Structure 1
Amino acid sequence: MKIAILSVSKKGLNLSFKIKELLDKDSTIIKCDIYHKDVKNNFNLLFYEYDAIIAIMASGILIRSISHLLESKTTDPAILNIDDNGNFVISMLSGHLGGANQLTSKISTLINATPVITTSTDVNKKLGIDVLAKDLYLYIDNTKEILHFNKSILESKEVSFTVNSNGNYDYLFEYLNNNTLEMDVSIYFSSRINDNEIEVECDNHKIILRPRKIVFGIGCKRGKSSIEIKKAIDKVLNDLNMDISRINMFSSAEIKKDEKGILDLSKELNIPVNFVEIDKLKLFKSEDIQKSDFVMSKFGIPGVCEPSALITAGYDSKLIYKKTAFDGVTVSVALSNKKIIK
């Protein structure tokens, strides 16, 4: 997640620096930038450039500043509102698909503030269908059905999930087992469902969910074993609260194509690995990757795990876990912008 923090007062600016310092330690935060004053012009810029905006200001200023920018719950960034004293963190916009509710909980914990979340499914301890889609990195084809689904879920109506038995949906079953709360959930298997789809029905309405491609970029020192690499991947999976069955592919640079640890792990987990050509890595440009002076001087490329993950995930993909080192193994995670089509 790329986050902008916008403040208007000196106290708000000091709180901005405190929040940034804490978020910079979080591998799921790709970057965090601070902006101060010039609220209207800054919002016009930040609204389209960041996944989330933390506004440290009065709620009236915030609402008046973004009202003309609002478009859709599927595209608007997450907006959080915090008072100058950091007493309350309020999820204002895009609570589910945009991730504002999760970020509100994270920030409030970091600064010891009270989280304020008002979405109906959350306050009634129900699982919204858009929350499930976001948590599992699934693409919703027919987003207009979200409102009806969540209303029906609030009324305790049955929700059924149908998948193809040939697909690996361990991540879905694990998630439903741990997160359905008081929902009435059923799971069915049918050959009429494509193995890259999840059909969800509730109260005679239907939503199709499709996985977005998730690529784990891997870099490592020469000779790292599959056990050591797997240990690093498990740490990342834990940080993302992600089941290993959700990984679609590993990636690394062409210089690692004979790295036994990566090859062995790919075989053990039955997850394919893509080794990106050096020429493609040299040409790749992104403001989000962390450039390595050592890798650049030795191989002429900006890095290994982040650019290879982004290239493999496809055009307009984004990082959801920045390069993080684990005892000689570096891991990053890229998410495709599109659904997987087979």
Structure 2
Amino acid sequence: MKVAIVSVSDKGKKLAVTIKEKMDNDSTIIKADVFHKNVKKCLKIAFYEYDAIIAVMASGILIRSIAPYIESKTSDPAVLNIDDNGNFVISTLSGHLGGANSLTNKIAALIGATPVITTSSDINNRLGIDVLARDLYMSIDRPKEILFFNKAIIEGHEITLTSKSKKEYLIEYLKNNTLEIDVCFNYSEDLDEDEIRVSLDNHELTLKERKMVVGIGCRRGKECEKIYEGLKKSFSDLNIDKSRVNQFASAEIKKDEKGILELSEKLNVPVNFVELEKLKLFDSNDVQKSEFVKSKFGIYGVCEPSALIMAGFDSKLIYKKTSFDGVTIAVAISR
């Protein structure tokens, strides 16, 4: 998640800087930038270029500034509102699909504030279908049906989840989630492997996996188990089961790396090794550049660009390059 923190007052700026410093240590935060004053211009830029906006200012200023740009719950960024004293963190826009509710809880915990969330499913301790889709990195083909299913979930109706085969990551997610939802599972050959159909009465929508690619870099000769430990830690940070992975990726200089090949076989996840020329040509402001890797191999990095390239055009990082004892892990998803 890319986060813009926008402040108005000097006191608000100090809080914004504090939030940024704390977020920089979070591998799921790809970058956090602080903007001060010039609010209307900053918020307009942030609305289209960031996944989330944290506005440290009065709610009236925030609402009037973003009102012209609000379009849809499927595309608007998450927007949070915080008072200058840092007493309250308010989920203001895109609470579910945009992730504002979960980010509100995270920021509130970081600065010792009270989170304020008003979405119906959350205050009734129920799991919204759009929250499930976001947490599992899935797209929704009929977003207009979200309201029907969330209302049904709040009222305690049982919904049916149908897939082609058993989805371990879905089962683990539902088992570990603290919010309530009544479901039954069904299986059908009519669906693609990456689809889950949600149905109740005559209503249905389809959740589709966004391609999730784990980029891996490691020191020469790193054992499979050490790479696996890094993978498990990164997915624990993402709060999702490792079975959600669609593909591994690394640079072609690692194509004979035994540990990576063994991990691919162990987890039955395909691995692709990206050609050096593609890595040399690839450029993104979100990728961390290593002068050491550049001096050795002529490329600025392995795990982040490999993951982004294999996830496809316009993909994005959801887990920035993080080191685990000689192993680097990054995770990208397709749009």
TM-score by length of 1: 0.96
Measured in 2, the distance between the counterparts of 1:59 and 1:180 equals 30
Shift of 1:300: 1.0
Matched letter for residue 175 of structure 1: Y
Alpha carbons 1:59, 1:81 under 8 Å: kept: yes
Shift of 1:262: 0.5
Specify which of 296, 300, 322 is matched with residue 298 of structure 2.
Answer: 300
Measured in 2, the distance between the counterparts of 1:53 and 1:189 equals 40
**Structure-to-structure mapping, 1:242-261, within 5 angstroms:** 242-261=240-259
Alpha carbons 1:321, 1:334 under 8 Å: kept: yes
**Structure-to-structure mapping, 1:1-342, within 5 angstroms:** 1-165=1-165, 168-179=166-177, 181-337=179-335
Alpha carbons 1:222, 1:259 under 8 Å: kept: yes
Matched letter for residue 278 of structure 2: K
Shift of 1:180: 7.2
Measured in 2, the distance between the counterparts of 1:30 and 1:299 equals 24
TM-score by length of 2: 0.98
Runs of 4+ in 1 over 4 A off after TM superposition: none
Shift of 1:181: 4.1
Matched letter for residue 197 of structure 1: E
Secondary structure of the residue that 1:48 maps to in structure 2? helix
Matched letter for residue 327 of structure 2: V
Name 1:340's counterpart in structure 2.
none
Secondary structure of the residue that 1:258 maps to in structure 2? coil
Shift of 1:291: 0.2
Alpha carbons 1:157, 1:203 under 8 Å: kept: no
Q: Percent identity?
A: 65
* 1:243-265 Cα shifts (integer Å, max 9, x gaps): 11100111000111111110111
Secondary structure of the residue that 1:315 maps to in structure 2? coil
Shift of 1:174: 1.5
Alpha carbons 1:152, 1:203 under 8 Å: kept: no
Measured in 2, the distance between the counterparts of 1:287 and 1:79 equals 22
Matched letter for residue 75 of structure 1: S
Consecutive unaligned residues of structure 1, counting only runs of 5 or more, are 338-342
Alpha carbons 1:158, 1:203 under 8 Å: kept: no
Moved more, 277-286 or 195-204: 195-204
Shift of 1:197: 1.2
Shift of 1:225: 0.3
